[in-house]
């Protein structure tokens, strides 16, 4: 893998995104750490720089087409044409269907689905010109259905169809497109879920781990390792796949 290759990781200020940015930097990529606020992304970029690798922090609302184009243009100008994209940015607005507002629905679908579409559309031109590219979309086991997450589950299931379609469209340009569906991962997002349903974190963690065949929760680095494989030369004949990284089988 060429040291000159550039990766964009969205939602990379913390959690899975931050771990992925750090991992790809160690793999030799120059990394653009993209998040809603540049100040939040800077901590991840600084951690990469401290390891002697290359990174910049970039602010963008992934659901805003103009902001996405400005961000991708900046990455291309400062680091070089991006040929790896990890669509990780996400939010939750959990509620049961009868309590879910249109704003809750639109916000979640906007970040996950519209955001992945907009960033992929902006970046694919650079991949096509290079004749090589890797797109990895972050889905979730919630795509199989999850009480209180009609918006999130629909968006994460949608990303799987989006992945398979892009694999068909972009394959002839040397671009692979794959999807990772994490199971239970310890993060700010899962801690917020425990708080929302009123269950102490330790109790919530124990309940979730009891359901996982390998007997432990996932960590952001578990997901980052899978991303590392999908963006590597080793996976050049793997495209349009959904990999459940969940400590056990999923349908």
Contact by Cβ (8 Å): 148, 103: no
Task: Give the catalytic positions in this structure.
Answer: 152
User: How far apart are the C-alpha atoms of 124 and 175, rounded to whole Å?
Assistant: 9
| Secondary structure class of 238 (helix, strand, coil) | coil
User: How far apart are the C-alpha atoms of 196 and 199, rounded to whole Å?
Assistant: 8
Q: Where are the alpha helices (DSSP H) in the chain?
A: 15-26, 38-50, 65-78, 102-109, 115-130, 150-170, 188-197, 201-210, 220-230
Contact by Cβ (8 Å): 120, 135: yes
Contact by Cβ (8 Å): 162, 119: no
């Amino acid at each position: 893998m060429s040291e000159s290759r550039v990766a964009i990781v969205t939602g990379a200020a913390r959690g899975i995104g931050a771990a992925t940015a750090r991992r790809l930097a160690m793999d030799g990529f120059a990394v653009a750490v993209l998040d809603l606020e540049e100040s939040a992304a800077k901590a991840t970029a600084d951690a990469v720089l401290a390891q002697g690798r290359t990174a910049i922090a970039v602010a963008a609302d992934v659901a805003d087409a103009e902001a996405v184009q400005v961000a991708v243009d900046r990455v291309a100008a400062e680091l070089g044409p991006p040929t790896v994209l990890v669509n990780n940015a996400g939010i939750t607005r959990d509620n049961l269907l009868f309590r879910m507002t249109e704003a809750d629905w639109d916000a979640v679908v906007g970040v996950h689905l519209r955001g992945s579409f907009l960033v992929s559309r902006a970046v694919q031109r650079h991949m096509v010109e290079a004749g090589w590219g890797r797109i990895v979309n972050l889905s979730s086991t919630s795509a199989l259905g999850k009480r209180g997450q009609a918006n999130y589950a629909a968006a994460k299931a949608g990303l799987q169809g989006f992945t398979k379609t892009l694999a068909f469209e972009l394959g002839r340009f040397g671009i692979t497109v794959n999807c990772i569906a994490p199971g239970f991962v310890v993060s700010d997002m899962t801690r917020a879920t425990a708080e929302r349903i009123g269950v102490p974190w330790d109790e919530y963690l124990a309940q979730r781990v009891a359901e996982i065949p390998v007997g432990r929760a996932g960590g952001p680095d578990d997901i980052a390792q899978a991303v590392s494989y999908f963006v590597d030369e080793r996976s050049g004949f793997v495209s349009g796949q959904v990999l459940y990284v969940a400590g056990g089988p999923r349908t």
